[in-house]
Amino acid sequence: MTTLKACKECRRLVEKGRKCPYCGGELTTNWKGIVIIIDPEKSEVAKAIGITTPGKYAIRIGK
Ligand SMILES: [Zn+2]
Ligand 1 mean position, distance from CA 40 (Å) = 16
Ligand 1 mean position, distance from CA 33 (Å) = 16
Domain that residue 22 falls in = 5-61
Grouped pLDDT means (10 residues each) for the chain, 63 residues = 88 93 95 95 90 94 85
pTM for the model: 0.84
β-bridge mates for residue 36, sequence order: 56
pLDDT score recorded for residue 26:
96
The total number of structural domains in the chain stands at 1
- Give the C-alpha separation, 19 to 47, whole Å: 24
CATH number reported for the structural domain that contains residue 19 in this entry: 2.20.28.90
pLDDT score recorded for residue 45:
86
pLDDT score recorded for residue 42:
96
pLDDT score recorded for residue 49:
83
Ligand 1 mean position, distance from CA 1 (Å) = 22
Contact yes or no for 13/3 (Cβ under 8 A): no
Ligand 1 mean position, distance from CA 46 (Å) = 15
Closest of 7, 47, 55 to residue 31, by C-alpha: 7
Question: Is residue 45 within a helix (H) or strand (E), and if so which, with residue range?
Answer: helix 44-49
pLDDT score recorded for residue 1:
57
Closest of 52, 31, 55 to residue 41, by C-alpha: 52
